[in-house]
Amino acid sequence: MADAGCQTRRGDSIKKMKDEFRPGLSWLILTIVAFGLTACAQSSDCFREDVFCAGLVTDVLGIDDHGMNQDAWVGLQESKVSGVVDRVEYIESIDTRDYGKNIAYFAERGYDAVITTGVGMRDETLRSAGLYPDTVFVGMNQPHEEVRPNIIPVTFAEDQMGYLAGALAARISKIHVIGAVCETSGIDSVWRYCEGFRAGALATHVDENIKVQVIYRDNGDRENLFIDETWGYDTAQTLIQRGADVIFAAGGATGQGALRAAAEAQVDVIGTERDQGAALGPSAGSRVVTSIFGSASFEVQNVMRLLRAGNAFEPGPSQIEYVPFNQKFPESLTREMDSLLLALWVGEIKTNVTLTKP
């Protein structure tokens, strides 16, 4: 157990055991699980100065999200293999209300670093940083306006990812019409994704006749932020009826609804935030040309190295990656996109997209 690290899913594992075993054994199962958690925590020696421990708290998508949670965990495991981190562990959050206690699980056991994922965990990460000043909190994809000495915000250039998607969509469109389905433009990261898409499509000069349609969910219920699959699905259908033959989508489950509708209509789609082809499954996923997202694994390993060495974190351009294109696209397209990605990363090409909506 010590070599592999501990993996904990609070609440869910206990419930599963209780469901699978006879009621008369429930007390025994609960005792074993409770003992296992305690032994895992006490055996880590994370309070020792010579032992470096790092824990990951996922959002509600869990560790197998084909995205940031999974990629961040890979980064932690690689950090352990390379000897940078002595102990790694993750906790999957079942509900947003679990975020605080899951973070506290690591902080109260002497973990040197706690990684949290996604903008939805930003407020709880900030609150926890105030409660546990001796722990360093790494907020993946969490821009923090309030500076704290023990918070490292790792953000990714959404405008560059959108720009790459727009350039690709314009390049592969056969009828010169492409579209984007986006969560509310009031969310800065969504704004940067989708205005980057617009800028990339219009600036590539691949197709001077290209028509770009970007639709935001600006009039929707705030309670459905990032989870309005029905709106995403219907909006993608609207774009397809208007002639779009490539669809880009951003905004959690809202965007996934759009990708699903487009895939069902046999329209090519470009995803972001995670590997949407894997997330949608074999049938719908076959229409996903690629997904473009920030390399959480690379950034986690970089931050862990800096923390272990006692060096300060200097924000810089984060690494972006994309899922390889399927075989129906020529190798030249991959080379073209790689060149564009490099030019964006080193600053040779500017998206000219503002950080916030004007």
For the domain that residue 29 is a member of, what is the CATH number?
3.40.50.2300
Q: Please, are residues 54 and 44 in contact by the beta-carbon 8 Å criterion? A: no
What pLDDT is attached to residue 232? 97
Residues 121 and 199 in one domain: no
Of 107, 137, 154, which residue constitutes the final position of a domain? 154
In a domain, 352, yes or no: no
Q: Give the C-alpha separation, 310 to 86, whole Å.
A: 15
Is 88 or 357 the better-scoring residue by pLDDT?
A: 88
In a domain, 300, yes or no: no
- Sheet with strand 268-272: strands edge to edge: 211-216, 177-182, 246-250, 268-272, 288-294, 320-322
Backbone angles phi, psi at 10, to 5 degrees: -60, 130
pLDDT tens digits, 135-146? 999 999 887 777
Residues 280 and 170 in one domain: yes
User: pLDDT-derived band of residue 44, with 50, 70 and 90 as boundaries?
Assistant: low
Percentage above 90 pLDDT, the chain: 63
User: pLDDT-derived band of residue 285, with 50, 70 and 90 as boundaries?
Assistant: low
Q: Please, are residues 76 and 304 in contact by the beta-carbon 8 Å criterion? A: yes
In a domain, 292, yes or no: no
What pLDDT is attached to residue 196? 97
Residues 218 and 338 in one domain: yes
Residues 212 and 337 in one domain: yes
- Domain count for the chain: 2
Is 97 or 144 the better-scoring residue by pLDDT?
A: 97
Is 324 or 205 the better-scoring residue by pLDDT?
A: 324
Residues 44 and 119 in one domain: yes
pLDDT, mean of residues 69-91: 96
In a domain, 356, yes or no: no
pLDDT, mean of residues 248-271: 93
In a domain, 52, yes or no: yes
What pLDDT is attached to residue 223? 87
Range scoring the smallest mean pLDDT among 95-104, 302-311, 313-322, 339-348: 313-322
* Max mean pLDDT range (82-91, 111-120, 135-144, 321-330): 82-91
Token pair 């997904």: residue = 291
Is 119 or 339 the better-scoring residue by pLDDT?
A: 339
Q: Please, are residues 316 and 157 in contact by the beta-carbon 8 Å criterion? A: no
What pLDDT is attached to residue 355? 84
Residue 353 pLDDT exceeds 90: yes
Residues 232 and 146 in one domain: no
pLDDT tens digits, 164-189? 999 999 999 999 999 999 999 998 88
Q: Give the C-alpha separation, 74 to 81, whole Å.
A: 10
In a domain, 301, yes or no: no
Residue 27 pLDDT exceeds 70: no
* Residue closest to 349 by CA, chosen among 211, 212, 206, 204: 204
Residue 31 pLDDT exceeds 80: no
In a domain, 302, yes or no: no
Q: Give the C-alpha separation, 127 to 132, whole Å.
A: 9
Residues 188 and 279 in one domain: yes
Which amino acid, one-letter code, is at 91? I
Of 107, 136, 154, which residue constitutes the final position of a domain? 154
pTM assigned to the model: 0.76
Range scoring the smallest mean pLDDT among 33-37, 151-155, 159-163, 284-288: 33-37
pLDDT, mean of residues 244-255: 93
Residues 128 and 267 in one domain: no
**Averaged confidence pLDDT in the chain:** 85
* Max mean pLDDT range (2-11, 37-46, 274-283): 274-283
pLDDT tens digits, 99-108? 999 999 999 9
Residue 294 pLDDT exceeds 70: yes
Residue 65 pLDDT exceeds 80: yes
Residues 236 and 204 in one domain: yes
Tell how strand 288-294 and strand 320-322 pair up. antiparallel
What pLDDT is attached to residue 20? 37
In the chain, beta strands by DSSP E: 6-9, 53-57, 87-92, 113-117, 136-140, 151-154, 177-182, 211-216, 246-250, 268-272, 288-294, 320-322
Residues 145 and 207 in one domain: no
In a domain, 296, yes or no: no
DSSP string for residues in 208-234: TT-EEEEEE-TTS-GGGTTT-HHHHHH
The range of the structural domain enclosing residue 183 comes to 158-286+324-346
Of 154, 185, 210, which residue constitutes the final position of a domain? 154
User: pLDDT-derived band of residue 30, with 50, 70 and 90 as boundaries?
Assistant: very low
Residues 242 and 129 in one domain: no
Q: Please, are residues 61 and 93 in contact by the beta-carbon 8 Å criterion? A: no
Range scoring the smallest mean pLDDT among 76-85, 238-247, 283-292: 283-292
Name 272's bridge partners: 292
What pLDDT is attached to residue 236? 97
pLDDT, mean of residues 105-116: 97
Q: Is residue 301 within a helix (H) or strand (E), and if so which, with residue range?
A: helix 296-309
pLDDT, mean of residues 54-75: 92
**In the structure encoding, which two tokens stand for residue 268, read together?**
């090519």
Query: CA separation (Å) from 211 to 90, 178, 216, 325?
Result: 45, 6, 17, 23
User: pLDDT-derived band of residue 5, with 50, 70 and 90 as boundaries?
Assistant: very low
Residues 252 and 175 in one domain: yes
